[in-house]
Amino acid sequence: MNPDKSQPWLQEKLLQHIQLLLYSFHHWTGDDLIPITNHQSPLETANLIFNADFVIVSHGTQADPILNYGNQKALDLWKMDWQTLTSTPSRYTAEPVERSEREQLLAQAKSQGYISNYRGIRIASNCDRFYIDRAIIWNVVDRRGKLWGQAATFSNWDAIA
């Protein structure tokens, strides 16, 4: 749909993925990730999500899941460009000592559909550490219930000195 490589989140595959993020977030939480009107196109929605003032990030279903989406806040926070983020195993968003807790958390979300009020420490690509608070993690599913991955959103984070 959009051949412009400077806006890869507007590619058809990712427009569909964003619709899954929105659908599954509402499915699990009963809330909307962002306000949506019937008049918005998938392209307009994708731009709203990408430019939101909170973090949205997701990964796929691989054995070692790879990040497959991050909005601008996620790119800024993890200090990565789109290509780097979308080729990074999601476990690398946490320090090695935090990874077992992260895995337990993801397993809990997978079995329950979602969890809210998660708090933890994450690490950017340049080794800056930050504390996230009140994160929601949910399973990304389609209308048939097929699991496509997991996603997280949060708007509260603080740098750790």
Could you give the CA distance from residue 159 to residue 48 in angstroms, rounded to a whole number? Answer: 25
Report the mean per-residue pLDDT for the chain.
Answer: 90
Looking at the domain that runs over 8-160, which CATH code has it been given?
Answer: 3.30.450.20
End-to-end CA distance of the chain: 43
Q: What is the pLDDT of residues 110-127, one digit of tens each?
A: 878 899 988 888 999 999
| Interval 60-78 mean pLDDT | 96
Could you give the CA distance from residue 117 to residue 134 in angstroms, rounded to a whole number? Answer: 4
Q: How many CA atoms lie within 13 A of 60 on its CB side?
A: 13
Reply yes or no on whether the pLDDT at 97 is more than 70.
no
pTM to 2 decimal places:
0.89
The residue with greater pLDDT, 98 or 144, is: 144
Reply yes or no on whether the pLDDT at 45 is more than 50.
yes
Q: What is the pLDDT of residue 3?
A: 45
- Tell me the pLDDT band of 2, cut-offs 50, 70 and 90: very low
Report the candidate in 148, 153, 155 with the shortest Cα–Cα distance to residue 66: 148
Query: Number of helices and strands (H, E) in the chain?
Result: 5, 6
Q: Which two tokens stand for residue 80?
A: 């990565």
Return the C-alpha torsion angle 153, 158, 160, 161, nearest 10. Answer: 150
User: What residue has token string 């550490």?
Assistant: 129
Residue 9 DSSP code: G
Q: Which two tokens stand for residue 105?
A: 């958390």
Reply yes or no on whether the pLDDT at 4 is more than 80.
no
- Tell me the pLDDT band of 47, cut-offs 50, 70 and 90: very high
Could you give the CA distance from residue 38 to residue 95 in angstroms, rounded to a whole number? Answer: 41
